[in-house]
Amino acid sequence: MGGIDASVLTISPGRPLRLSITTFGALAWSGFRRYATYRQATIAGSFTNIVFGFLRCYVLLAVAHGATGGRPGGYDGAQLATFVWVGQGLLTVVGIWGPPDLSDRIRTGDVASDLLRPVPPVTAYLAADLGRFGHAVLTRLVGPVIVGAIFFTLAAPTRWQTIPLFVISTLLAAVGSFGCRFLINATAYWLHDARGPLVLWTLGSGVLCGLYFPLRLLPEWLAVTLWVATPFPGLLQTPLDTLVERDPPVQQAGLVVIQAIWAVALLALAGTVQRRAERKLVVQGG
């Protein structure tokens, strides 16, 4: 058995699948507990999400009021309100602006201990991030949605497949967001400090994923290019469009498929980048 103790938690093709799943679950649970520790930060963050929800919602509803037919970008008022409020809830769930743990660990050299563990780093970080995702779904999603429903008319789904599609789409958004962030942070393997790429990411992701305004308000050629050629709409816009039923059923499902392709591609790319990095990594500080 090459000295591997049966009690070592590991994820590897050579070990039983059950053990891998248990390990993944344990890592995810630790990610969950990490965020559950900061209860006040959860309240503070929700408060801010709610204030921004009001700001964005009123502005978009005023745009709808003046638009021809009252449907800017093909959304009616209730759909816009749903888009904004669920979007404020999803912002933390998807975790577009998660903490730069990996790049910090690369800079300080702590990443060396990640490489010693019997779990591939991408898998370990993904598990922890899904734990964070679970915590955010339970705590950060409901606040803005409830406030939104009290003060505005929200759109209720009318198709049976909308809710399951939305759940899948949200999970894919979280995985895609994790992949993007991992790649951005991994630039630190080559640059030693990922601050520049991180700043560009914070800036670009906010507008390109549909947080500032629904991407459908852009000229159509630009929106289509964003959807197909970049992962950004899949981080926030797609789950929201799915939920508010912006498109006919086939296109609704099609967007989720594009999102899934991007999520898989990003994870694969993260794995490749990590393997390349491991070959050239020189741990800083000795």
67 lies in the binding site for other proteins (CB under 8 A): yes
Do residues 187 and 194 lie in contact, with contact meaning Cβ atoms separated by under 8 Å? yes
CB of 219 to other proteins, least distance (A): 8
Q: Which of 40, 116, 221, 285 binds other proteins (CB under 8 A)?
A: 40
Contacts of 172 (CB under 8 A, 6+ apart): 234, 238, 239, 256, 259, 260, 263
Do residues 171 and 95 lie in contact, with contact meaning Cβ atoms separated by under 8 Å? no
* Four-residue CA torsion sign, 27, 32, 34, 37: negative
- Binders of other proteins in range 108-137 (CB under 8 A): none
Q: In terms of C-beta density within 10 A (0-12 exposed, 13-18 middle, 19 or more buried), how is residue 103 classed? A: buried
CB of 154 to other proteins, least distance (A): 16
CB of 166 to other proteins, least distance (A): 25
Q: In terms of C-beta density within 10 A (0-12 exposed, 13-18 middle, 19 or more buried), how is residue 112 classed? A: middle
25 lies in the binding site for other proteins (CB under 8 A): no
224 lies in the binding site for other proteins (CB under 8 A): no
Instruction: Return the range that interacts with other proteins (CB under 8 A); candidates 5-13, 21-29, 192-200, 231-239.
Output: 192-200
CB of 185 to other proteins, least distance (A): 16
59 lies in the binding site for other proteins (CB under 8 A): yes
Do residues 71 and 217 lie in contact, with contact meaning Cβ atoms separated by under 8 Å? no
Instruction: Return the range that interacts with other proteins (CB under 8 A); candidates 13-21, 81-89, 190-198, 232-240.
Output: 190-198
The Cα–Cα gap between 125 and 87 comes to 24
Neighbours of 51 (CB within 10 A): 13
76 lies in the binding site for other proteins (CB under 8 A): no
206 lies in the binding site for other proteins (CB under 8 A): yes
3-state secondary structure at position 195: helix
Instruction: Return the range that interacts with other proteins (CB under 8 A); candidates 22-30, 114-122, 206-214, 250-258.
Output: 206-214
Q: Residues interacting with other proteins, by CB under 8 A?
A: 38, 40-41, 44-45, 47-48, 51-52, 54-56, 58-68, 72-73, 193, 195-196, 199-200, 202-203, 206-207, 212-213, 217-219
